[in-house]
């Protein structure tokens, strides 16, 4: 989702590119709420290794960082980071 949205770098930068401004962008809050809801579904299925908010924050942190890197440096590595974060926050179903 973030990497795809990063194809609009000017808009992405308005939403995520100024961390020291501590700006409140309603669309960012809505996207985070959607992510938390998705993580809650994984938690309900017994698949999260961490609390819902921790998992959502980890995924959002990785997504924003990778997307800003791709915009800035036209870099690569998003698949490796994605796989690492998914492995870190999810696991086999809890018994």
- Beta bridge partners, 90, equal 48
Domain residues of the chain, as ranges? 2-89
37 in Cβ contact with 67 (< 8 Å):
no
Give the span between the Cα atoms of 79 and 92, in whole angstroms: 21
16 in Cβ contact with 61 (< 8 Å):
no
Please report, rounded to a whole number, the percentage of residues in the chain having pLDDT higher than 90: 43
Q: For position 34, what pLDDT does the model report?
A: 95
Please report, rounded to a whole number, the percentage of residues in the chain having pLDDT higher than 70: 95
68 in Cβ contact with 76 (< 8 Å):
no
Q: Give mean pLDDT, residues 46-52.
A: 96
31 in Cβ contact with 59 (< 8 Å):
no
Choose among 66, 58, 26, 24: nearest CA to 42.
Answer: 58
For 72-95, write each residue's pLDDT tens digit. Answer: 887 777 788 889 999 999 998 876
């Amino acid at each position: 989702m973030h990497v795809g949205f990063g194809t609009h770098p000017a808009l992405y930068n308005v939403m995520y590119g100024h961390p020291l401004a501590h700006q409140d962008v309603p669309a960012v809050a809505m996207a985070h709420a959607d992510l938390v809801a998705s993580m809650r579904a994984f938690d309900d299925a017994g698949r999260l290794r961490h609390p819902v908010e921790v998992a959502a924050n980890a995924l959002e942190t990785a997504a924003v960082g990778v997307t800003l890197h791709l915009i800035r440096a036209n870099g690569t590595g998003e698949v490796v980071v994605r796989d690492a974060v998914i492995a870190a926050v999810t696991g086999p179903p809890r018994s």
